[in-house]
Amino acid sequence: MTVVVTVDGPAGAGKSSASRRLAERLQLLHVDTGAMYRAVALVAAERGVGLEDDGALGRLLEGLRFAFDLGRITVDGRDVSEAIRRREVGELASRVSARPVVRRRLVALQRSLAASPGVVMEGRDIGTVVFPDASVKFFLTASPGERAHRRALELHATGQTVDEAALAAELARRDERDSTRAVAPLRPAADAIVLDTSTLSLDDVVAEMERVVRARTALPGG
Ligand code: DC
């Protein structure tokens, strides 16, 4: 049986660090679906494709070949792992991710990545749309101030300068768009375990997630 662990939540809630570590501990594949939306947004912007032009987006997606390996993402053989982390790409990704034509293609790709022994997949709609029957679902949240602070640290680490107040406003706008869009809005699945990570260390978050997954599935070890 393939174990599917879903991790959803808003930007800066700690999904990526926690999912990556959890996957390592459980020896499962880790898939960051936000990176896919970012990659589509990056390539669309580079090629002058309008982010609201469904016909052109559909044609663009037809031709793109994504590959994931060891935490790197390549599109048509080009490694875009760093380029997609730029701040403006997050904003473009939020816009392009509201288009049904984009979601259809990426959801199909995401479903194809669940292979034995299992996967930890993070995003916004993984527990609600991509894998509604997942083995275990988590929804990570944190206070807006803490999320902006964490995002600022991440951007600093990649050499980008940020004003935390502006970043907080940007995240709030992005969450509002991600939560209110017509298709696959950001919300916890009815059966998701909601973890507020504001005052928890990464170790604590991962330990709690690992405990729940091991209790509910038949993964070996631990
Ligand atoms: O997790 P992230 O910040 O890298 O995601 C970038 C954008 O992609 C985010 O604003 C919303 C969108 N996204 C989505 O709509 N569905 C997903 N499963 C993952 C990300």
Mutate to test the pocket of ligand 1, among 124, 150, 171, 186 (most ligand atoms within 8 A of CB): 124
Domain definitions of the chain by residue range: 3-214
pLDDT at residue 119, rounded to an integer: 96
List pLDDT tens digits, range 90-107. 999 999 999 999 999 999
Mean pLDDT of 163-167: 90
Mean model confidence pLDDT for the chain: 93
List pLDDT tens digits, range 54-104. 999 999 999 899 888 778 999 999 999 999 999 899 999 999 999 999 999
Q: Is ligand 1 within 6 A of the CB of residue 110?
A: no
Residue 164 has pLDDT above 80, yes or no: yes
What is the position in ligand 1's atom list of the atom closest to the CA of 125? 18
Q: Is ligand 1 within 6 A of the CB of residue 178?
A: yes
pTM score of the predicted model:
0.94
pLDDT at residue 222, rounded to an integer: 61
Protein residue with least CA distance to atom 9, ligand 1: 94
Taking the C-alpha atoms of residue 104 and residue 89, their distance in angstroms, rounded to an integer, is 20
Q: How many helices (H) and strands (E) does the chain have?
A: 8, 8
How far away, in angstroms, is 171 Cα from ligand 1 center?
Answer: 12
Mean pLDDT of 198-212: 96
Q: Is ligand 1 within 6 A of the CB of residue 9?
A: no
pLDDT at residue 100, rounded to an integer: 95
Outline where the chain has alpha helix (H).
15-26, 33-46, 54-63, 87-96, 100-112, 144-157, 164-180, 202-216
**Peptide bond just before 117 cis, omega within 30 deg:** yes
Residue 32 has pLDDT above 90, yes or no: yes
pLDDT at residue 73, rounded to an integer: 92
List pLDDT tens digits, range 170-195. 888 988 998 999 999 999 999 999 99
Q: Is ligand 1 within 6 A of the CB of residue 90?
A: yes
Give the CA-trace dihedral at 147, 194, 176, 58, to 10 degrees. Answer: 100
Q: Which residues partner with 123 through β-bridges?
A: 8
Q: Is ligand 1 within 6 A of the CB of residue 131?
A: no
For 3-214, CATH number out of 3.40.140.10, 3.10.150.10, 3.40.50.720, 3.40.50.300 equals 3.40.50.300
Q: Is ligand 1 within 6 A of the CB of residue 123?
A: yes
Q: Is ligand 1 within 6 A of the CB of residue 94?
A: yes
Contacts of 179 (CB under 8 A, 6+ apart): 10, 185, 186, 187
List pLDDT tens digits, range 121-140. 999 999 999 999 999 999 99
DSSP classification of residue 13? S
